[in-house]
């Protein structure tokens, strides 16, 4: 049983460009232009899923994809840090920021830990390994990084060593027994 999963990072938002923790906001207007170039390179999908976040849903629309919301693809919940810059959080909660970077089970912001995001991603990949066909999933950098680490069996502390660009594709393939990382970082020209 062959399965393919193409994860697409949602388009950049104004907050993302300013180095702010994600909150539910629309992508920048220029995402629509870049999405058109990316759409031409996408292969036919048997399933198209999107994170509940506005940026992911609008990116799916810009790609011309009719997507179903899949909660397992949600961005990490940053609760009281959402919308704040890294500098603001570092100044106001340095211990929390240090814990967040060093302990994957920490959720000092009152939201979701990195370990919880990784568990969601692992559950999604385990579910898809049993289904044949191609799934396109519009999501965010943290869930994509967590999926890569799950596949590689790497520690979650490595999440900060992977860069995932907005509107980039990361592709996984499965033979029903195991997943392999097929390609990562593909972007629209």
* Model pLDDT, residue 185: 74
Tokens at residue 71, please?
């909660």
* Model pLDDT, residue 129: 86
User: In the sheet where 3-9 sits, what is the strand order?
Assistant: 68-69, 47-50, 133-139, 3-9, 168-174, 179-187
Backbone phi, then psi, for 174, in 5-degree steps?
-135, 145
Residues 6+ apart with CB under 8 A from 92: none
What residue segments make up the domains of the chain, in order of their start? 3-77+112-187
Ranges of the chain with pLDDT below 70: 188-189
The CATH code for residues 3-77+112-187 is: 3.40.50.1240
């Amino acid at each position: 049983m062959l399965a393919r999963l193409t994860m697409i990072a949602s388009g950049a938002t104004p907050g993302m460009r300013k180095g702010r923790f994600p909150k539910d906001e629309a992508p920048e207007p220029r995402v629509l232009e870049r999405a058109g170039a990316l759409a031409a390179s996408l292969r036919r999908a048997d399933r198209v899923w999107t994170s509940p976040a506005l940026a992911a849903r609008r990116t799916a629309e810009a790609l011309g994809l009719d997507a179903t919301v899949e909660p397992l693809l949600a961005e990490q919940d940053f609760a009281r840090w959402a919308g704040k810059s890294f500098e603001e959080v570092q100044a106001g909660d340095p211990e929390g920021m240090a814990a967040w970077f060093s302990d994957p089970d920490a959720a000092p912001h009152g939201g979701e830990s990195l370990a919880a995001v990784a568990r969601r991603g692992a559950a999604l990949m385990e579910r898809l390994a049993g289904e044949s066909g191609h799934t396109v999933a519009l999501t965010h950098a943290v869930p994509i990084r967590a999926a890569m680490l799950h596949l590689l069996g790497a520690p979650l502390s490595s999440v900060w060593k992977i860069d995932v660009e907005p509107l980039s594709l990361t592709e996984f393939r499965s033979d029903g027994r195991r997943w392999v990382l097929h390609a990562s970082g593909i972007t629209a020209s």
